Amino acid sequence: MNPEERLTILNVNCGAVNNKIPELHQVIDQVQPNIICLTETWLKPDIHTAEIFPCHLGYQIHVYRYDRTSGKGRGVLLAVPNKFFSEEQPELNTERNIMWSNRQIF
């Protein structure tokens, strides 16, 4: 498979991503993933996506989040580059902190 055709997915169990943003950026820089899946983000709606994926990273992405609304733990985030058409599939989401998206390369 050509490197141009390869799809690289980064899947990280964060355990509070907002406390580990520099480390996450370092991993993203090293791996250069196409798609980023974060679990146990512990994010709440008042934390903006731009705090996790600032413009200087160079990623033009669609970000889908399922944040926790109370308590500690949980939360998932899916980041898909704009070069892929993607859309969230909320009808497949469950209370189990699972998020679904479909994608097509254009």
- Tens-of-pLDDT digits for all 106 residues of the chain? 566 677 889 999 999 998 999 999 999 889 988 889 999 999 988 888 888 887 766 667 788 888 877 777 788 898 888 777 777 766 666 565 555 455 444 4
Kindly provide the b/e burial profile for residues 69-90, where b requires at least 16 CB atoms within 10 angstroms of the residue's own CB: eeeeebbbbbbbbeebebebee
Tell me how far apart the alpha carbons of residues 73 and 85 are, in angstroms, rounded to a whole number: 30
pTM of this prediction?
Answer: 0.77
> According to the model, what pLDDT value does residue 106 have?
42
The pLDDT value given to residue 76: 87
Euclidean distance between CA atoms 45 and 16, whole angstroms: 14
What's the pLDDT at 57? Answer: 67
Domain ranges of the chain: 9-105
Query: In whole angstroms, what is the distance from residue 64 CA to residue 87 CA?
Result: 9
How would CATH label the architecture of 9-105?
4-Layer Sandwich (3.60)
